[in-house]
Structure 1
Amino acid sequence: MKALGAPLRARDSGAAPDRGFGARLMTPLLLGAVLNPLNSTMIATGLVAVGRDFGTGPSGTAWLLSSLYLTSAVGQPVMGRLADSLGPRHIFLAGLGVVCAGGLLGTFAPAFGWLIAARVLLGLGTSAAYPAAMAMLRAESLRTGRPAPRPVMGRLSLAALGSAALGPTLGGLLTATTGWRGIFAVNVPLALLALAVALPWLPHDRRHPATAGPGPGPGPGPGPDDTGAATGDTGPVQPQQGPVRPQQPSGGPSPAAPPRDALLRTYLRHGLTYLAIYCALYGYAQWLEEARGCTSFQAGLVMLPMSLAAAGCSLLGARTKGLRAPLTTAAALLAAGSGILVTATGGTPLAALLIASALFGIPQGLASTGNQAAVYAQAPPDRVGSAAGLQRTAQYTSAMAATGLLALCFGQRASDAGLHRLAAVTGALSLLLLVLTATDRALRARTRT
């Protein structure tokens, strides 16, 4: 609510930085931006209940995860292109309509296959919001003659970050109170609310509304030192679609100077980090319910430190001047969290389980902001948007790979032995990530002032 209220306060007070980017524009965009990351994580604490009702284990429910990620990975660039050619308002509204359809289909799904179809619809519909929002912000920049203010970009990013972080807890609450179908049903009122404010408030599409690039203005776009730019890539949050001008490193080379392999290493590092994080996010939640005996709501509460740590450390990471230290710390903490899970059993003290949850949340915040800043520093200035999109592709690929690992390690039921196998994999990934980060010379330059 803070993110939604901020533009309203700025507009009401007549603050110059938000002029042209006030509540009438930002409220529907913020509501739309939360839908994809919310759906990507909210299902985590409902998988066991779904599997129980339809007689399938983790190897089957993994399709509910991979279907949304695969659809989103393909759908976001397609929706961005459609927003540029057909108009962002049309695509934004159409996406909300598809979200409603997906939510209704999942709510009344008579068989497991219909649930997968509902997740595909949700992935497609929610993929429209962020690229359409970026196109509308570019159109507003053209109209006002200046780029979108940095606080506006920050609010859009933080809205997506917060919804992704709180998704598992919300999913557990809905499953415990309304059943797992509530995870699908909640999309309907959210999408209708976004439609209710988007129809009267979003500006009508102009001809070629977002193909001319960012509006003129002396100020740079969001840089790696800004909360909005730095947090725009956390899971699962959509990449920025518009061109962004990176800030010059302090005492280092220009953003275009690092070789291409430095950017490739950043993609690899980001992908490995989120492969470990997604394995923990989904595998840990299922183990808590099936092996530990927690209810969906209790599992969500145990996962809450992960959510809070991810959100808090993303803000901390956005204010870090260097890259090597936070990224190395993230890799080390992933290894530590894996060490706890590799020995966890049904009798492990609750305090240790909460610590393990936090140990997987802190790296999520540090790595997301650190790798996003690395992309801005290492990509050519005219290709930062494309580079951020490829970083997001690496994250989605890791999410799909994590579903395969879950099926391989757990089989039909999440057991202690399955968790130990999964934790061994995440531990090995963490150690590899630690070596890659510590030996990457491109991370030595400071990228934030």
Structure 2
Amino acid sequence: MNARNWWLMISVGLGMMLNPLNSSMVAVAIPRLQHAFKLEFTVVSWIIFSFYIGSAIAQPVMGRASDIFGRRRIFLAGLVIVFAASLLTPLSPGFGGLIVLRVVQSIGTSMVVAVGMAIIRVNITDKQASALSVLSMFTSGAAAVGPFIGGVLVHVWGWSSIFYINLPFVTASFLLAWRTIPQDKPSADIVTKLSLRQWMNRIDAPGILLFTIGLVAALAQMLSAKSSGHVSLFNIIIGLSGLILLMIFVRHELRTAMPFIPLRTFARSPGLIRVNVEFMLVNLLFYSVFFGLPSYLQLVRQVSEFHTGLLMLSLGLSSLAVSPLAGRWIDASGPRPAQTVSAILMALGSVWIVMLDPASPVISILLALAAFGISNGLNNVAMQAALFNNSPKELIGVTSGLFSTSRYFGTILSSLLIGIVIGNPFSFRGFQVLGMILTAIALCLVFMSRRRSLEPKNSLHSLDDR
């Protein structure tokens, strides 16, 4: 790859890392926010959930917007929004305003993530898996060191610093992106000549509205029930209303001429469906360990928060270390072998979790974390390569956005699974049951990866000319 491509990857990587960085740093600020706003944990925890929900909805919407208005415009606009939200969030006078600005921040980072992969796919045609491995190093590295960086910032400068830290990264990404991302030719020039009704039909405003309200209702009520510890009639009614709206959304998308999410294209391309389902499952596995193992360490092993953070850092660092190797391997052999090895490692790691007890040596915990970390590093590259292989080039924006949404579905489901299985207060038996469930899911992934290839083995660009 030439120097321009390297600078392009750095500019995109600096922008894409903002989403995992901000979703992980804030977790360590919860106690400070509780004290600052005098709120209960279940209320303050919505600063995490709101970011996940906002990202899950915004990324496919912004992917669709990039297909209309252009990837460069959406990427740069997203960085501007993140800058403004990061600057204003610490100045919020109340917790409600903090949540609103947090959602705005998630929308801005989603605009960047939704088009980042598409920019790389369109502009770097040589050794794409290696390029994806560079992006994975940014995103995996941000997720890995996010809690550690957040802990240091909160300890030294207070909770507001986890928002201000975004500003230098946003500035650097914007300046580099302005110079390196090529101008694209959006179809927005045509849209400006249309009437308001024609414009709304072109972007499929009814579909976006149904998708947004339905998903917010369904996810918010599930997370509300999880955080409060009980399911009320109100939760059930709103949750079912959300599911009904999502079914209406599916019916609408199948009938409209210009759908926000081209479900018919997905139906004709089973590979796209498999990629998103598998990506959701691998993130369900990874984040169940990411969120569940610290409770085992602190409540069963009586490990301090500092040492728990150091142990969990090995999860992200092993993922970060394997990413460049994964890129070269996938460039040579295609995504399928890496996906198979990743599924096997997750199965072994899950079995290892089942075997843990209060006296297990630290090395056994590190081995389980390493298995999940390495598998995550392989998956981050292999799944994106599989997505590229199965996605029509003209729809790469919306398919990239949905791909990222699958990650957040997996993350949210992991939170729900932990709450249901482990319980509150923490149950060590429940933790072992969690390991059994993760083992079953991982074995399903092994079967899926061995049963059918997601793409031609040696052709990462087989669909470029669709």
TM-score between both structures, scaled by the size of structure 1: 0.68
Superposed CA deviations along residues 83-122 of structure 1, whole A, max 9, x for unmatched, are 6766767755654454355446665778766664454233
- In the other structure, the counterpart of 1:398 is 410
2:422 and 2:431 in contact (8 A); partners too: yes
| Amino acid corresponding to residue 195 of structure 1 in structure 2 | T
- In the other structure, the counterpart of 1:202 is 178
**Identity across matched positions, percent:** 28
2:338 to 326, 330, 338: 326
2:110 to 114, 127, 135: 127
Deviates more, 1:284-293 or 1:270-279: 284-293
- In the other structure, the counterpart of 2:231 is none
Superposed CA deviations along residues 178-236 of structure 1, whole A, max 9, x for unmatched, are 34985662332332453377369826999985449xxxxxxxxxxxxxxxxxxxxxxxx
How much does 1:358 deviate? 0.7
1:291 and 1:415 in contact (8 A); partners too: no
Number of corresponding residues: 381
2:315 to 299, 306, 321: 306
Tell me, in whole angstroms, the C-alpha distance in 2 between the residues paired with 1:304 and 1:426: 21
- In the other structure, the counterpart of 2:215 is none
1:109 and 1:115 in contact (8 A); partners too: yes
- In the other structure, the counterpart of 2:354 is 342
Q: Structure 2, unaligned stretches of length 5 or more?
A: 189-264, 462-466
- In the other structure, the counterpart of 1:273 is 282
- In the other structure, the counterpart of 1:408 is 420
- In the other structure, the counterpart of 2:21 is 38
| Amino acid corresponding to residue 300 of structure 1 in structure 2 | G
Deviates more, 1:195-204 or 1:26-35: 195-204
The RMSD of aligned alpha carbons is 4.4
2:164 to 180, 188, 196: 188
Tell me, in whole angstroms, the C-alpha distance in 2 between the residues paired with 1:422 and 1:47: 25
- In the other structure, the counterpart of 2:2 is 17
| Amino acid corresponding to residue 436 of structure 2 in structure 1 | A
Flag the 1:78–1:444 CA change in 2: closer, same or farther, 3 A: closer
Structure 2 residue 239 is matched with structure 1 residue 263: no
Flag the 1:446–1:186 CA change in 2: closer, same or farther, 3 A: same
Structure 2 residue 171 is matched with structure 1 residue 162: no
Higher share in helix: 2
- In the other structure, the counterpart of 2:207 is none
2:53 to 70, 75, 78: 70
- In the other structure, the counterpart of 1:11 is none
- In the other structure, the counterpart of 1:428 is 440
Tell me, in whole angstroms, the C-alpha distance in 1 between the residues paired with 2:288 and 2:58: 23
How much does 1:124 deviate? 1.6
Tell me, in whole angstroms, the C-alpha distance in 2 between the residues paired with 1:113 and 1:337: 40
- In the other structure, the counterpart of 2:208 is none
Q: Aligned with 1:127: secondary structure?
A: helix
Tell me, in whole angstroms, the C-alpha distance in 2 between the residues paired with 1:427 and 1:184: 39
Superposed CA deviations along residues 399-445 of structure 1, whole A, max 9, x for unmatched, are 12112112223443444234223222212211222222222255684
- In the other structure, the counterpart of 2:154 is 178
| Amino acid corresponding to residue 338 of structure 2 in structure 1 | P
1:314 and 1:366 in contact (8 A); partners too: yes
Q: Aligned with 2:165: secondary structure?
A: helix
Q: Aligned with 1:412: secondary structure?
A: coil
- In the other structure, the counterpart of 1:250 is none
How much does 1:302 deviate? 0.8
Q: Structure 1, unaligned stretches of length 5 or more?
A: 1-15, 142-146, 213-255
How much does 1:397 deviate? 1.4
How much does 1:380 deviate? 4.1
Tell me, in whole angstroms, the C-alpha distance in 2 between the residues paired with 1:206 and 1:371: 26
Q: Aligned with 2:424: secondary structure?
A: coil
Tell me, in whole angstroms, the C-alpha distance in 2 between the residues paired with 1:196 and 1:380: 31
2:59 and 2:402 in contact (8 A); partners too: no
